[in-house]
Structure 1
């Protein structure tokens, strides 16, 4: 539920989420972004962080979004 205030450059956006363990299809209006050792599921318009997944395989289970309108990614 925090807001991301760092840079939102195209080079940090993850377009190949299928090839990244733990990521799922972002809903309309959201995208994945890599920030350090984690992936952030962010709202494009506001920067609201709706989900966080560790970028290192096996380090932690994904934190699935709990915002209204989200269902399980499976």
Structure 2
């Protein structure tokens, strides 16, 4: 079975969305994401998969493109 490297996937998606500090932001995002997955309720309607990560990162990219003067850490 293959274990996905969410941090690397997140970093590449942030680079593709045009963010400069992708490595640092991906580490922060994945640590927050992991904490949420572990600490929040284990109900079925919560999606902690790659599809949810991709959705958040696409929105972050569109926010950054919408306001280029906003710092990247505030976008995430």
Structure with greater strand percent: 1
The interval holding the TM-score normalised by the smaller chain is under 0.3
Larger radius of gyration: 2
Task: Give the TM-score normalised by structure 2.
Answer: 0.27
RCO comparison, higher one (Cα < 8 Å, 6+): 2
Structure with greater helix percent: 2
